[in-house]
């Protein structure tokens, strides 16, 4: 199979990076994401995992992918897929005014932009993610924009994943 790539964008800031899908390591997750693209939603900056931005989506896979290519220590440039029961994100501690598609499942697509991430949540424990892509171009500019998002706020910003 030929390599497939996605563009990850912070729309308001006009910042984009390109990632290669890890079809060899997470084929079911890559297929589910690829078939659902483009995906776009409000961006959030992680509270617990450190250097992560993400958007929440209603489920889009025919069946939730298994935990393929898992990690609890994502590195800079990792794209991760998480699936949560809607109730897991429903507490005020997470700061959401609404959870998109808050039903039985919510999908979180994330970009990790710097090192020293640990997917450990005080409420539920370890939260392994599926690494389905790796940024190959534009990570430095994206990391600067993510730091600005952390410092200036995410209100009004959109995170988009689309085929490149």
**Could you read off the pLDDT of 78-104 as tens digits, one per residue?**
999 999 886 676 655 555 555 555 567
Structural domain including 97 reads 10-151
The pTM of the whole model exceeds 0.75: yes
Q: Is residue 5 part of a domain?
A: no
- Choose among 150, 72, 80, 79: nearest CA to 118: 72
Q: Is residue 159 part of a domain?
A: no
Question: How confident is the prediction for the chain on average, in pLDDT?
Answer: 91
- Work out how many domains the chain is built from and give that number: 1
State the Cα–Cα distance between residues 130 and 124, nearest whole angstrom.
Answer: 17
CATH of the domain at 123: 2.40.100.20
Is 73 in contact with 117 (CB distance < 8 Å)? yes
Q: Is residue 19 part of a domain?
A: yes
Q: Is residue 46 part of a domain?
A: yes
Q: Is residue 146 part of a domain?
A: yes
Q: Is residue 37 part of a domain?
A: yes
State the Cα–Cα distance between residues 29 and 110, nearest whole angstrom.
Answer: 13
Q: Is residue 27 part of a domain?
A: yes
Q: Is residue 164 part of a domain?
A: no
Report, as an integer, the average pLDDT of 53-70.
95
**Could you read off the pLDDT of 105-125 as tens digits, one per residue?**
889 999 999 999 999 987 788
State the Cα–Cα distance between residues 163 and 97, nearest whole angstrom.
Answer: 29
Q: What percent of the chain has pLDDT over 70?
A: 89
Q: How far, in whole angstroms, is CA 163 from its chain's centroid? A: 15
- Choose among 101, 40, 29, 31: nearest CA to 65: 29
């Amino acid at each position: 199979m030929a390599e497939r790539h996605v563009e990850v964008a912070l729309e308001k800031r006009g910042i984009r990076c390109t990632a290669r899908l890890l079809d060899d390591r997470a084929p079911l997750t890559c297929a589910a994401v690829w078939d659902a693209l483009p995906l776009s939603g409000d961006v959030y900056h992680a509270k617990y995992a450190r250097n992560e931005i993400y958007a929440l989506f209603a489920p889009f896979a025919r069946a939730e992918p298994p935990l393929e290519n898992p990690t609890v220590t994502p590195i800079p440039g990792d794209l991760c897929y998480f699936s949560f029961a809607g109730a897991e994100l429903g507490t005020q501690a997470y700061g959401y005014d609404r959870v998109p598609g808050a039903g039985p499942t919510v999908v979180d697509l994330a970009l990790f932009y710097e090192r020293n991430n640990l997917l450990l949540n005080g409420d539920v424990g370890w939260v392994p993610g599926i690494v389905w892509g790796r940024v190959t171009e534009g990570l430095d500019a994206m990391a600067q924009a993510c730091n600005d998002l952390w410092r200036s706020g995410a209100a009004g910003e959109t995170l988009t994943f689309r085929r490149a």
